[in-house]
Structure 1
Amino acid sequence: MKGVADLFHIGEVVTGKVTGIQPYGAFVDLGDGVQGLIHISECHFGYVKDIHDYLDLGQSITVMVLDIDEFTGKISLSLRCLEENHGLDGESADDEGDVRHKHYWTNRNVHDGFSPIQKRRHAWEQEALREFVGK
Structure 2
Amino acid sequence: MSIEVGSKVQGKVTGITNFGAFVELPDGKTGLVHISEVADNYVKDINEHLKVGDVVEVKVMNVEADGKIGLSIRKAKPQPERPERPERPERPHRPRRDNNRSNDRNGPTKENFEQKMARFLKDSDERLATLKRATESKRGGRGARRG
CA separation of 1:67 and 1:95: change in aligned 2, threshold 3 A: farther
Q: What are the residue-to-residue correspondences of 1:90-129 with 2, within 5 Å?
A: none
Q: What is the CA deviation profile of residues 46-105 of structure 1, one whole-angstrom value per residue up to 9, with x for unaligned ones?
A: 311010111110111111001111x21110000110234468xxxxxx9999xxxxxxxx
Q: 1:35, CA displacement in angstroms?
A: 0.3
Counterpart position of 1:29? 24
Instruction: State the structure with bigger RCO (CA 8 A, min sep 6), 1 or 2.
Output: 1
Counterpart position of 1:44? 39
Give the residue type in structure 1 aligned to 2:69.
I
Aligned equivalents of 2:40 and 2:47: distance in 1?
15
Kindly indicate which of the two structures has a greater share of residues assigned to strand: 1
Q: 1:31, CA displacement in angstroms?
A: 3.0
Aligned equivalents of 1:26 and 1:83: distance in 2?
17
The answer on whether the counterparts of 1:85 and 1:95 sit within 8 Å (CA) in structure 2 is: no
Counterpart position of 1:18? 13
Which structure would you say has the larger Rg? 2
Runs of 5+ consecutive residues of structure 1 not aligned to the other structure:
1-5, 88-93, 98-135
Counterpart position of 2:68? 74
Normalising by the residue count of structure 1, what TM-score does the alignment of the two structures yield? Answer: 0.56
User: What is the aligned-residue RMSD (CA, Å)?
Assistant: 2.4
Normalising by the residue count of structure 2, what TM-score does the alignment of the two structures yield? Answer: 0.52
Give the residue type in structure 2 aligned to 1:32.
D
Runs of 5+ consecutive residues of structure 2 not aligned to the other structure:
86-147
How many residue pairs get aligned? The number is 85
CA separation of 1:46 and 1:7: change in aligned 2, threshold 3 A: same
2:22 is paired with a residue of what secondary structure?
A: strand
Aligned equivalents of 2:40 and 2:63: distance in 1?
22
| Structure 1 segments of 4+ aligned residues over 6 angstroms from their partners | 94-97
1:81 is paired with a residue of what secondary structure?
A: coil
Give me the identity figure in percent: 44
